[in-house]
Structure 1
């Protein structure tokens, strides 16, 4: 029977899986989640901890025999018994199926929706609305599966139920209000059954389903952000005047970074690079505030709020609108890979975020799709001219007029004057 220590922080739902599994299997598990046994952000950065768990992440398990594990699913699996893991190869595979399902289908949208309500993450309206739709799909699938079943695999609780239920704890506690969960009675029945099992209650306590959907609290979010430390007090002026040389040397010593804050190789290379000239510095100040529009676009309805704000405030002299098309649609295969291409492009153009805005969309289905988009750039010229960033290839003229090829396999950039002409 397994016996050891689980390192985590309080109320870590990922650690709940291992704790509940241990309750069922009878594994002797000690939980180190508070000082002096464990201080998150300190203990997990010590050389001794990193020697056993190189990533420094929790939950982390260390057996009394010295056996170490990281990753919550692996720990929960190790602490389970045969009944939880699946007594047959088929049942074991089904358990693994639902464990993977929780990681890939539930946790991402649940985090995007719930974390802003806890003050952990900034609110994004589009991301939250998309997360709600994704959770509806998840609940619909689970509701159908549980229509003739009490538990996900077999006739008793398995690691599948433990994992999926733990991934949904904060959903049920924070945002799944009665009206939202009403179409999915089988899921709620199953969830309530699980969390009221003695083994679940020993870890989770009483789980109260939310009555009203929690919303983003800007004040709470601000309070959760790390605060800068106040500068140290200066020595008395008389003492400093008496020892000017000593004071100068002390100031130099104070500017030395702590060993923990020394730059890694990547930071050192970036710091050594010469400051690039701002390619937009020559442009006059514009009345159109890009950040203000982006906030409207991210947090409010696009058609009724963001777009009217755009056209009411758009500076035709200070900005221009362009249309782009992906050059090799025949290379686009699976849609999720094509979406990754778009995301990768945006990541590589991060320096433009203060001077540009874009909406780039994938159209079509697997092995039959295309990518195109609309961009708003500072100034009247295309931003991608010459060597905008070191390492990029020269652009070549593709066709008459302002049509340009750029890296990333974008076919052309077409000045979209017709959009402007259509506006009053």
Structure 2
């Protein structure tokens, strides 16, 4: 019997209430709960499409926010009214004793690996994989750092699995479910044969997991990538919200009418092509992308500002693809428009509440996700300083206009009041030093007073 055919026998879940999991399609975080339910026998209804649930709409309603204040998914609700948000808590609730660990030692080991997935795998995996999906702009420095961190993760797992079939004990546990789901997109997108070759135990374990009937019932067939996916600028551009730049003033009425009539056949052809191209992209959405796709078009909050000669996207390309200190920072100061843009220093107000560093990273990344629509008119480099139970968060933000951009949209105001904000004078040496240090992620950071954490949190 090969490892792929191992089928653990677990007792059925004792809670027979019908339960609902709200999510969007292909959400790997929701997969954890769904797979746990497959093992435990929990009756789980998945609401991921209209009319039961539409991400970006249903999760913004007062009724939903009353149960799940953050509006995030996956979100869980039982028929008895019991509600949970956060995927690990939901998966734990839907598990049985065998999945959670049958002894205090095993339970602690399960928590260890679930935390390992969140803190050590998800940040670098996101930084590497998201650009290949067109979800995030490519950053060469961040991608190379992410690859090195993934190698460390794979080495740890490979050593641990050298004499083990599963991460904890002799059967699948919540540890295997959580870690396998967190590595799903790595194996599907970027871990080509040559990259994964030094880590045979990890690949053996991953394939063993995803070929279990309970995994396959949720994931289907998981095909490992043959060639490492790369960032495609065109794909990224296509994923961005389209702006309607044409107005009636641009075209005389008669010519406009003639142009519309002549373009109708071409528009139909183009529309069909676009529909064909757009269809597969749905499977590659993360929370930000799903929200953007499902939300109605909103008025541009920056429409009232005059056009600026500073092209923010051009600076971002320099920052992502070329050396920060020798190219990107000089480019920034050479082209920065202090009339059209402003620079701000933001510092988290409640450092005493920051405990584990991975939770602090999730705090930062969650804020960035909710500010995704600000990307065209803003840039930020935010750093976590210190370590567990002794850390701080601060960063440099660049916005279009002279005011804090968060106040321009209700959607952007969730996190910003947790930070203190100070507008910086672009002509001072203090500002130039802070911009250089935060953009490059290196320097003395005299105003912070804590060591620089190797920084998995950035934008």
TM score, norm. by length of structure 2: 0.58
Larger Rg: 1
Deviations 1:126-183, CA, capped at 9 Å, x for gaps: 1111111111110000000000100000000000000000000000000000111011
Corresponding residue of 2:277: none
Corresponding residue of 1:295: 317
Deviation of 1:337 after TM superposition, in Å, equals: 2.8
Distance 1:344 1:75, change over 3 A: same
Deviations 1:194-234, CA, capped at 9 Å, x for gaps: 00000000000000000011011111111212234689999
Pair 1:222 & 2:237 matched: yes
Corresponding residue of 1:55: 70
Distance 2:205 2:448 in 1: 48
Deviation of 1:294 after TM superposition, in Å, equals: 6.3
Corresponding residue of 1:91: 106
Could you tell me which runs of 5 or more consecutive residues in structure 1 were left unpaired when the two chains were aligned: 238-259, 268-274, 276-284, 316-333, 364-370, 374-405, 411-424
Distance 1:128 1:312 in 2: 22
Distance 2:332 2:385 in 1: 36
Distance 2:66 2:314 in 1: 47
C-alpha RMSD over aligned residues? 4.0
3-state secondary structure, aligned to 1:358:
helix
Could you tell me which runs of 5 or more consecutive residues in structure 2 were left unpaired when the two chains were aligned: 1-13, 254-296, 335-356, 358-382, 398-420, 451-459
Say whether the 8 Å CA contact 1:362–1:372 is kept in structure 2.
no
Matches within 5 A, 1:36-75: 36-75=51-90
Say whether the 8 Å CA contact 2:139–2:319 is kept in structure 1.
no
TM score, norm. by length of structure 1: 0.63
- Higher helix content, 1 or 2: 2
Say whether the 8 Å CA contact 1:181–1:188 is kept in structure 2.
yes
Matches within 5 A, 1:137-286: 137-228=152-243
3-state secondary structure, aligned to 1:346:
strand
Corresponding residue of 2:145: 130
Distance 2:62 2:333 in 1: 55
Distance 1:85 1:207 in 2: 25
Deviation of 1:112 after TM superposition, in Å, equals: 0.5
Pair 1:358 & 2:436 matched: yes
Say whether the 8 Å CA contact 2:110–2:174 is kept in structure 1.
yes
Distance 1:309 1:344 in 2: 21
